Structure formats: C-alpha cells, structure tokens
Amino acid sequence: MVYKASSDMNEKELFERIRSGDEKALEFLYKKYYRMMTKMVITNSGTEEEARDIYQDALIVFWQKATSGNLVMTSKISTYIYSICQNLWRKELDRKKRLSNETNDTPVSIDTDSAEREKIIARCINQLGETCKKVLMYYYFEEMSMQDIAEKLGFANTDTAKTKKYKCKKKLDELVKAQYSERDFLD
C-alpha cells in the first residue's frame, strides 16, 4: 500500500505563517513534530515530561527568532528545531551532572531580591488589560513591527499601535515602580 499525505501548507508557507506570528501554524508545527522531537530526549535518558519541556522551549526559541525576523531558513524547519532540542538537552544533562557532582553540604545561594522582583512584575503584568498584555508581548517578545501589531490586534493604523504600546508600558512602569519603592528596590 502506498500512503500519501499532504497538508495545505508547504515548508515555505508554514514558515511564512510562523514568521507573521500565526499561532495556529505554531500549534500545527507542535503537533506535527511532537513525537520526533520528544523521542530524541527520551532515548537519551530523559523523561517524557523533560522531553516535552525541551521541545516546547526549542519551539519557542524558533518562534521568537522567526517572528522577530532574525531567522533565515537554510535547512528544513524540523532540522532546525531538532538541533535546538539537542543543544538544550545537552545543556540540561550538563546541569544535572554538575548538580550531582556537588556535595550535599554545598551552600545554595538564592537571590531572594531577584525572585521577589520577578513576582512583582508578573503580578503587575496580570493587572494590565488583555490588549495591553498582547501589545507588550508582541513588541518585546516577538519583536514585531508596529505595522504587524496594528494588523494583528485590529488597530486603525501604526500610530494607534505606537500610542497603545507607549501607554501600556507607562502603566506597567508605574505599577512596578510603586511596588519597588515599597520594598526599597529602587536606588
């Protein structure tokens, strides 16, 4: 029996959709390569949970690079993501090895200030409206252009997107600085 399959997207189209920040394409990609990528970790001493984490991290690295326009594909998408998975898993194995080599009485230093600051910021981000969150995430994580943000969020034009981003960032800035002042995090 001969089995053939096709999707409505070839590699180029899939990459273009990823580049434009199409989350449906990301979901498609995730499901498509799930077994292939997790298999690499599982067959190299990883658990299924670790495999899933590594694959998700790798896919998000790929997503971020693609949406920010910092990626020119010279290989298949799967080959690229696979190599990220391999690198991430190697790092994780090294980290585990280092941990197991350390003696139990080694003092563990925890930066409590830094952890506290992270919590404050996460709380403040959650206080923003959904559109504000999206604008800031698209701008700082996906590194999208104002034009793309305006199109994605249905703003009238680029200027509206710019203004929205400015106001949202200012709001977050104020929320965070108020909390930082209370805890003397501001010098």
Partner 1 sequence: MATERDLELLDDYLSNRLKGPERIEFERRLETDASLQNELAVQRDLVEGIRAARVTELKTMLNQLPVPPASGGSIAAKFAAWAIAVAVVGLGSYYLWQHTTTDEPTSAETAAVQRDESAVTSDEPTQSEQPAEEAVPSAKDNVESDAADNANVPAEQPTVKKETETAPKVSPPIQPDVTPYDPTRELETPNGRPEPLTDPGEPHSVESSIVVEVVDTGKRNDFHYQFKDGKLYLLGSFEKDLYEIMEFFNDDNKRTVFLYYNSAYYLLDETRTEPTPLTPITDPELLQKLRNYRDR
Using CA atoms, how far apart are residues 85 and 106, in angstroms rounded to an integer? 30
Nearest distance in Å: CB 106, partner 1: 27
Among 142, 149, 155, 161, binds partner 1 (CB under 8 A): 142
Q: Which 78-97 positions form the footprint of partner 1 (CB under 8 A)? A: 78-79, 82
Residue with tokens 């190599």: 83
Among 20, 65, 68, 93, binds partner 1 (CB under 8 A): 68
Among 54, 58, 59, 161, binds partner 1 (CB under 8 A): 59
Q: Binding to partner 1 by residue 111, rule CB under 8 A? A: no
Nearest distance in Å: CB 102, partner 1: 26
Assess contact for 136 and 172: CB atoms under 8 A.
yes
Give the number of other Cβ atoms within 10 Å of residue 79's Cβ. Answer: 10
Among 58, 84, 136, 150, binds partner 1 (CB under 8 A): 136
CA angle 102, 106, 111 (to 5 degrees): 110
Q: Which is nearer to partner 1, 133 or 152 (CB)?
A: 133
Binding window for partner 1 (CB under 8 A); candidates: 7-15, 91-99, 101-109, 150-158:
7-15
Nearest distance in Å: CB 97, partner 1: 20
Q: Which 114-133 positions form the footprint of partner 1 (CB under 8 A)? A: 117-118, 121-122, 124-125, 133
For residue 75, give the DSSP letter.
S
Q: Binding to partner 1 by residue 15, rule CB under 8 A? A: yes
Using CA atoms, how far apart are residues 35 and 37, in angstroms rounded to an integer? 6
Q: Binding to partner 1 by residue 151, rule CB under 8 A? A: no
Assess contact for 70 and 40: CB atoms under 8 A.
no
Side-chain-side CA neighbours of residue 168 (13 Å): 22
Using CA atoms, how far apart are residues 157 and 163, in angstroms rounded to an integer? 10
